[in-house]
Amino acid sequence: MKVILAISTAIVLAVNVNTISHINDINQRLSERQNEATWFIFQLVKEYANLVTQSQVRPIDYDKVWLAYDLTWSRFDTLLNSKESANFIQEANYRSFFENEFSDFKSIEKSVQLVERNIIDADLLAKKIQLKYNDIILFFNDNFRLQSPVVEQVRTELRQLMAKQTLTTTALIILFTIMLLTFWLDNRFKNILSRKDALTSVLNRQALINDTKYFYQESQYHLVSVRLLNLKEINLKYGLDYGDLVLKSIAGRLHNVVPSSCRTYKFANDQFFMIGNCSKEFGEIDPIKLIKDSLESPIFIGRIELIADISVNHDEQIHKELLSERITQLSCSSP
């Protein structure tokens, strides 16, 4: 799964980079045209389009937004004040339009600052920029007639490339989100497995140590210790596989008799601990008798009948600060 995501991301990224490169190539061709005023307007549209794109990327990269804003600002300034374009737009009666658009454009600076401070939503900023950009495009389409079919073809190609870039950018964001989710789930699954005993599937020694430090926050708990006294005898007489099967059977029986409010841990090879607040569940039932009766009933493995010799200790209402100390005492005490 990770390999597929990585390959997909690499492919989409390559397409995105190639698209940007192609757009830059086209803009370079446009920059070589003889009509300077038209060229300046094309540059303004290009930078404005980039600002639109950057404002729509999530999460928003403010450095790129500010860079796109500054570049668009400079294109407006050049269009209005350079000798070549100023004379043209003055003679064509376009100056008032571009001055008004430039004035409106400057208000975007304040909007970006408000988004950075989380005062307004980034989507409102993107919509505002898109609307102002649409005004420029509409004016351009109504008032400028490109003289060459080649340039018209370039404009169409630019629109297609911008759509392609938007699509690939969206795909990159989706793939990146999926990758983050995949790694998070993988890490969570590994953490869960690291807390489980491989043989019995109950919580392991490390989980018990961590939980006594960080998980148990109430003042008092029940602590039950269960030890299989004849595990070595079973291993020597029948083999390690039989000992493992007995341990699995004990873990399963503990799961059936221990209340769900208690957690079960396999602390040592022959010892289990149960911790929790289970006074209501046990009620007047003696936990030691309940557990011993369940665990000492015969275990049948094939034609062999095994009896587990069980030692059970039950501490009621032990203070949470004493859990670790009491567990150590019980694990070190002789059966």
Q: Give the CATH number of the domain where residue 268 resides.
A: 3.30.70.270
The number of residues making up the chain comes to: 335
Q: In what order do the strands lie in the sheet with 271-276?
A: 262-268, 271-276, 220-228, 310-319
Per-residue model confidence as pLDDT tens digits over 43-97 = 888 899 999 898 888 888 999 999 999 999 999 998 888 876 776 677 667 888 8
pTM across the whole model: 0.46
> Which range (31-45, 55-69, 302-316) has the least confidence?
31-45
pLDDT of 327 above 50:
yes
The share of the chain scoring above pLDDT 70, in percent, equals: 81
Whole-angstrom distance, CA of residue 204 vs CA of residue 220: 22
Domain boundary among 130, 161, 192: 161
Judgement on whether residues 144 and 213 belong to the same structural domain of the protein:
no
Average pLDDT over residues 116-122: 89
Name the range with the highest mean pLDDT among 2-6, 138-142, 310-314: 310-314
Q: Flag whether 279 is in a domain.
A: yes
Residue 247 structural domain? 205-332
Bridge partner residues of 275 (DSSP): 223, 263
Average pLDDT over residues 265-287: 77
- Using N-to-C axis directions, what is the helix angle for 83-91 and 95-116, rounded to 10°? 120
Judgement on whether residues 142 and 280 belong to the same structural domain of the protein:
no
Per-residue model confidence as pLDDT tens digits over 130-144 = 998 999 888 887 776
Residue holding tokens 């596989």? 241
Give the chain's radius of gyration (CA, Å).
Answer: 36
**Residues in Cβ contact with 209 at an 8 Å cutoff, skipping those fewer than 6 apart:** 324
Q: Flag whether 117 is in a domain.
A: yes
Q: Flag whether 36 is in a domain.
A: yes
Residue 30, classed as helix, strand or coil, is helix
Query: What is the predicted pLDDT for the residue at 34?
Result: 42
Q: Flag whether 193 is in a domain.
A: no
Average pLDDT over residues 94-122: 90
Q: Flag whether 187 is in a domain.
A: no
Q: What DSSP letter does each residue of 231-280 carry, written as one string?
A: HHHHHHHH-HHHHHHHHHHHHHHHHHHS-TTEEEEEEETTEEEEEE--HH
Residue holding tokens 């989980």? 207
